[in-house]
Structure 1
Amino acid sequence: MSRQVVRSSKFRHVFGQPAKADQCYEDVRVSQTTWDSGFCAVNPKFLALICEASGGGAFLVLPLCKVSPLGGLGPWLPYLGAPLWVGRGDCHQRSLDGGLTLPLREPVVTLEGHTKRVGIVAWHPTAQNVLLSAGCDNVILVWDVGTGAAVLTLGSDVHPDTVYSVDWSRDGALICTSCRDKRLRIIEPRKGTVVVEKDRPHEGTRPVHAVFVSDGKILTTGFSRMSERQVALWDTKHLEEPLSLQELDTSSGVLLPFFDPDTNIVYLCGKGDSSIRYFEITSEAPFLHYLSMFSSKESQRGMGYMPKRGLEVNKCEIARFYKLHERKCEPIAMTVPRKSDLFQEDLYPPTAGPDPALTAEEWLAGRDAGPLLISLKDGYVPPKSRELCVNRGLSVSRRKATSETSSDVISRLEEELRKLQTVVQELQKRVDRLEDTVQAK
Structure 2
Amino acid sequence: MMPFYDVDAKLLFAAGKGECSLSILEFVDGTECITQASHTVLPEQSKGMGMLPKLAVDVMACEVDRLIQLCARQIVPVKIEVPRKSHRDFASDLYPDTDSDEVTLSAADWFSGKDGQVRVRVKITLKTSLDPSRRKSFSNPTQQPKPASAGEAPSSIPEQPGKVVQNDSITPSSGFKKVETEKKKVEPELPKPSGRAFTVGQKSKFRHWIATTLHPATHVTNIPKLKMSLPGSCDGFHANHERAAVPLTTPGGHIAILELSKVGRLPTTSPPSVQNTSAITDMRWDPFNPLRLAVGLENAAIKVWDIPKGGLKEVASDASFSLSGHHNKIICLQFHPLASGILASASTDSTIIIWDLDTQEKCITLSGHEDEILHFAWSSDGKYIASMCKDSKIRIFELRISTDPIKVTTGPEGSRGGRIAWTCGDQMLLTSGFSKNGNRQIAVYNVAHFDGGKIEDIELGASPSTLVPFYDEDSNVCFATGKGDTTVYSFEVSTEDPYLTGLNTFTNDQPHQSFSFLPKQNCDPRKVEFARAWCLKKTSLEPVSFKVPRVKMEYFQDDIFPDTRDLTKPSMTSQQWLDGDNKQATRISLRPSDMKPLSEAPKEAPKTKKYESYNAETYKTDEEKKEELLSAMSNKLDLDKELEQDTMEGVDEEEW
Which TM-score bucket, shorter chain as reference? 0.7 to 0.9
- Once the two structures are superposed, residues 140-173 of structure 1 have per-residue CA deviations (whole angstroms, 9 ceiling, x without a partner) of 1101100100011123xx2233211110000000
State the Cα distance separating 1:115 from its structure 2 match: 2.3
User: Deviation at 1:247?
Assistant: 1.3
CA distance in 1, matches of 2:202, 2:438: 30
2:431 is matched with which residue: 220, 235, 240?
220
**1:362 aligned to 2:362?**
no
Choose from 203, 227, 239 the match for 1:8: 203
Query: What's the counterpart of residue 449 of structure 2?
Result: 238
**Cα separation, 2, equivalents of 1:297 and 1:14:** 18
In the alignment, which residue of structure 2 is the partner of 1:85? 294
Aligned residue for 1:69?
265
Contact 1:144 1:360 (C-alpha < 8 Å) held by counterparts: yes
- Could you tell me which residue of structure 2 aligns to residue 386 of structure 1? none
Q: CA offset at residue 336 of structure 1?
A: 0.9
Query: Measured at CA, do residues 152 and 19 of structure 1 come closer, stay the same or move farther in structure 2, by a change above 3 Å?
Result: same
Which of 133, 136, 159 is 2:369 aligned to? 159
What's 2:309 paired with? 99
**1:205 Cα deviation after fit:** 4.1
Of residues 213, 233, 243 in structure 2, which corresponds to 1:46?
A: 243
Question: Which is further off, 7-16 or 143-152?
Answer: 7-16
Residues 390 and 414 in structure 2, CA contact (< 8 A), matched pair in contact too: no
Which of 569, 578, 586 lines up with 1:372 in the alignment? 586
Aligned-pair CA distance for 1:68: 2.1
Alpha carbons 1:170, 1:370 under 8 Å: kept: no
Partner residue, 2:221: 26
Q: Does 1:121 align with 2:333?
A: yes
Deviates more, 1:206-215 or 1:68-77: 68-77
Flag the 1:235–1:161 CA change in 2: closer, same or farther, 3 A: same
Corresponding position: 1:342 with 2:555: yes
SS of equivalent to 2:462: coil
Partner of 2:176: none
User: Does 2:489 correspond to 1:277?
Assistant: yes
Larger Rg: 2
* Bigger Cα displacement from structure 2, 265-274 vs 351-360: 351-360
Per-residue CA shift, 1:238-258, capped at 9, x if unaligned? 232322111111122100011
Instruction: Note the C-alpha offset of 1:73.
Output: 4.6
- Tell me the residue number matched to 2:467: 255
Q: Name the residue aligned to 1:197.
A: 408
Give ranges in structure 2 of 5+ residues lacking alignment. 1-84, 87-199, 275-284, 594-656
Alignment partner of 1:351 out of 560, 564, 567? 564
Which position in structure 1 is the counterpart of 2:617?
none
Between the aligned partners of 2:560 and 2:272, the Cα distance in structure 1 is 37
Greater relative contact order, per chain length (Cα 8 Å cut-off, separation 6+): 1
Matched position secondary structure for 1:22 = helix
**What SS does the aligned partner of 1:362 have?**
helix
SS in 1 for 2:576: helix
Match of 2:440 among 205, 212, 229: 229
- Separation (CA, whole Å) in 2 of partners of 1:118 and 1:259: 24
In the alignment, structure 1 segments of 5+ residues that lack a partner are 380-441
Is the deviation greater in 253-262 or in 240-249? 240-249
**Structure 2 CA distance for partners of 1:106 and 1:6, relative to 1, 3 Å:** closer
Q: Partners of 1:283 and 1:348 in 2: how far apart?
A: 20
Structure 2 CA distance for partners of 1:106 and 1:205, relative to 1, 3 Å: closer
Cα separation, 2, equivalents of 1:63 and 1:341: 33
CA contact (8 A) 2:534 2:543 kept: yes
* Change in 2 beyond 3 A, CA 1:332/1:19: same
**Residue pair 1:30, 1:325 contacting (<8 A) in 2 also:** no
Partners of 1:114 and 1:81 in 2: CA distance = 26
Q: 1:117 to 1:310 in 2, by over 3 A?
A: same
- Whether the 8 Å CA contact 2:201–2:503 is kept in 1: the answer is no
The aligned counterpart of 2:644 is none
For residues 51 and 373 of structure 1, the distance between their equivalents in structure 2, rounded to whole angstroms, comes to: 38
Give the counterpart letter for 1:67 in structure 2: V
Counterpart residue type for residue 186 of structure 1: I
How much does 1:133 deviate? 0.9
Q: Are the equivalent residues in 2 in contact too, given 1:58–1:76 (CA < 8 A)?
A: no
Indicate yes or no: 2:357 matched with 1:145. Answer: yes
TM-aligned CA deviation for residue 6 of structure 1: 6.8
Q: Helix, strand or coil for the counterpart of 1:34?
A: coil
CA root-mean-square deviation: 2.3
Q: Secondary structure at the match of 2:533?
A: strand
Q: Which moved more, 1:30-39 or 1:353-362?
A: 30-39
CA-CA distance at 1:370 after TM superposition: 2.7
Letter in 1 for 2:590: L
Q: Deviations over 1:224-265 (max 9, x none)?
A: 111011111110122323221111111221000111001100
Query: What is the deviation of 1:373?
Result: 2.1
Contact 2:467 2:482 survives alignment (8 Å): yes
Show structure 1 runs of 4+ deviating over 6 A.
Answer: 3-6
Alignment of 1:423-438 (within 5 A): none
SS class of match (2:575)? helix
1:316-375 Cα offsets, whole Å, 9 max, x none, are 111122222222222211111124133322222222221111221221122223322222
Distance in 2 of aligned mates of 1:378 and 1:139: 45
| Corresponding residue for residue 328 of structure 1 | 540
Deviation at 1:134?
1.2
Counterpart mapping for 1:310-325 below 5 A: 310-325=522-537
Alignment partner of 2:479 out of 255, 267, 273: 267
Q: Secondary structure at the match of 1:93?
A: strand
Query: Is residue 230–residue 236 contact of structure 2 (8 Å, CA) maintained in 1?
Result: no
Alignment of 1:273-312 (within 5 A): 273-312=485-524
Paired with 1:375 and 1:139, the residues of 2 have a C-alpha distance of 39
Please tell me the residue identity of whatever aligns with 2:261.
C
Aligned length: 373
Q: Report the TM-score when normalising by structure 1.
A: 0.79
1 CA distance for matches of 2:203 and 2:227? 41
CA distance in 1, matches of 2:271, 2:386: 33
Alignment check: 8 A CA contact 2:528 2:550 kept: yes
The answer on whether the counterparts of 2:478 and 2:490 sit within 8 Å (CA) in structure 1 is: yes
Further displaced range: 167-176 or 137-146: 137-146
Identity, % of aligned pairs? 28
Q: Secondary structure, in 3 states, of the residue corresponding to 2:521? A: helix
Residues 135, 265 of structure 1: alpha-carbon distance in 2 compared, 3 angstrom cutoff: same
- SS of corresponding position for 1:121: strand
Paired amino acid for 2:298: G
**Length-normalised TM-score, structure 2:** 0.54
Give the 3 Å change call, closer, same or farther, for CA 367–273 of structure 1 in structure 2. Answer: same
**Offset at 1:203?**
3.0
Question: Which AA in structure 2 matches 1:89?
Answer: E
| Cα distance, 1:204 vs structure 2 | 4.0
